[in-house]
Amino acid sequence: MPALRLILLALVAGQAIRLLAMATVPFADTSEPRYAEIARLMAVSGDWVTPWFSAGVPFWGKPPLSFWTQAVAIDWLGLAEFSARLPGWLAMIGVAALLFQFGRQAMGPVSAWWALVIFATSLLPFVASGAVLTDPFLALGTTLTLVSFCLAGTSSHPFWRYGVFIGMAIGLLAKGPIAAVLSLGVLVAWMVWSADARARWKLLLWPPGLATTVVLVVPWYLLAEAKTPGFLQYFLVGEHFLRFTDPGWSGDLYGSAHERAYGAIWVDTLLAGLPWSLVGCGWLLLALYRAPSRAQLWAALRRDEVRFLMLWALASPVLFTLSGNILWTYVLPSMPALALLLGRAFAYSRPAWSRVVVGISVALVPTLFAAMILIVAVHPNYLKTEKLLVREAQEMAAAVPIYFVGGAPFSARYYSEGAAKGVALDEVSALVRSRSGPLWVAVPRDRTAQVLASLGDGMIEHRSSRRFTLYEVPAP
């Protein structure tokens, strides 16, 4: 089938570009190198219970599932961008496979293929696949829970009857109770709406399923609290209540609150689905304008699987509408449902202009990523990363600490394997006077004059990054 071959070609080309970006684009501060550094510390220390933010500072902000997988990848494949990014890519491949399986069984193969290509070339799924984030694992957990619940009633395979509980465990170990809120919120709402959903609820293997979730999840939570007391209070109350209700929450131990206007999550949803979110809005307006399309739309809304997908698609935006402390990645768990809804729409009624629009939409995000790869290759200082600066210092003086005035960024800590140290501005003079050999100091480019006055004469300037310039202070 020519159309299927084109879809497969588009998917393979898009993922090839994504894999190339995973291998070549450096970590840019702050999110990716922060999580990569936490995973590196886990791999180096062998501590598989507590993720560490820095020496002596436990990271209580997220459960460890993503860090476990990234630490294993770093241990097996070495300290490279691709190693730390590979688990996230595999998690998103799992989400895509579940999406396709649901689409094929519930709506037919044509809808499934459309949904797959829409999901794989939407902005947020494309960015999140192959990124060092926790969100792909949350999306994997919620998708497995929701898809398993639906397929448990139509498939004879016992996996789906356990999949609800395995997916819940993945979500609880990836992000915490928010996974249960998202998944159970959709299922409870669907059961209120649908008698068939209530029947499926009774098919689940409740005693062994709940036991599976408890065995997989609870031991880590108890061990984490025992090892670093205070974890449960901070994680459950701070991260899951105060962060949600207080836009300017000042209790964040690892950064700052992401204060946004209430309702901004809907803008994030539109952005996350680009370019397909715009295509979907255009399709919906056209369907409402034309009488035959309106009839098809109302008929579709009476179908059980469409109602389920609507609830799933709305779960994240509705939940975070009244939260002013959000990131755009929070809508990722709803993206599979949005792709399935639009895939079904395109499978059953494609407007005359769809061929050109679809061609542009499929190619847009991968093309932008290909352009980014070229830009970073030609202009390495485009990103806020200290990879090349650290590499130059290591080539000239291996295993010697590099002091970053004002604090070492996470990218410097990751690429230096912990050799990057922070030093306060008022401590630079004492550091220079106490040196017994050459000293490497990275100076913020906007504070160069002030810092150089403390370093004295004879400094040798080396590479500059977007934020820092590396200086060598010769031995006295």
What is the helix (H) or strand (E) element at residue 441, kind and residue range?
strand 439-444
Residues 6+ apart with CB under 8 A from 192: none
Sheet holding 402-405, edge to edge: 420-423, 402-405, 439-444, 468-473, 460-464
Q: Residues 176-215: pLDDT tens digits?
A: 999 999 999 999 999 988 888 888 888 888 889 899 999 9
The Cβ-side half-sphere exposure at 444, using a 13 Å CA radius, reads 13
Q: Residues 361-412: pLDDT tens digits?
A: 999 999 999 999 999 999 988 999 999 999 988 888 766 789 999 899 999 9
Asked if 432 contacts 408 with a C-beta cutoff of 8 angstroms, the reply is no
The Cβ-side half-sphere exposure at 57, using a 13 Å CA radius, reads 8
Structure tokens at 470: 């590396």
Q: Mean pLDDT throughout 73-93?
A: 96
Structure tokens at 10: 């588009």
pLDDT of residue 352: 54
More confident residue, 6 or 82: 82
CA 69, 70, 74, 77 dihedral sign is: positive
Q: Is 3 exposed, middle or buried (0-12, 13-18, 19+ CB in 10 A)?
A: exposed
CA 313, 318, 320, 324 dihedral sign is: positive
pLDDT of residue 293: 63
Return phi, psi of residue 322, to 5°: -95, 15
CA 259, 266, 91, 218 dihedral sign is: positive
Return phi, psi of residue 184, to 5°: -70, -30
CA 268, 272, 276, 280 dihedral sign is: negative
CB atoms near residue 244 (< 10 Å): 18
Asked if 363 contacts 126 with a C-beta cutoff of 8 angstroms, the reply is no
What are the start-end ranges of the E strands in 313-419?
402-405
Q: Mean pLDDT throughout 339-352?
A: 80
CA distances (Å), 372 to each of 10, 11, 82, 187, in order?
A: 19, 19, 17, 40
d(CA 193, CA 199): 12
pLDDT of residue 2: 46
d(CA 143, CA 94): 9
The residues facing 468 across adjacent strands are 444
d(CA 275, CA 357): 10
Q: Residues 206-227: pLDDT tens digits?
A: 889 899 999 999 999 999 999 9
CA distances (Å), 60 to each of 36, 48, 141, in order?
A: 16, 14, 20
Q: Residues 241-299: pLDDT tens digits?
A: 777 766 666 667 776 556 778 889 999 999 999 999 999 888 788 777 776 666 777 76
**First CA to last CA across the chain, in angstroms?**
74
pTM: 0.93
pLDDT band at 23 (very low <50, low <70, confident <90, very high): very high
Residues 6+ apart with CB under 8 A from 350: none
Asked if 368 contacts 18 with a C-beta cutoff of 8 angstroms, the reply is no
CB atoms near residue 6 (< 10 Å): 14
d(CA 151, CA 167): 14
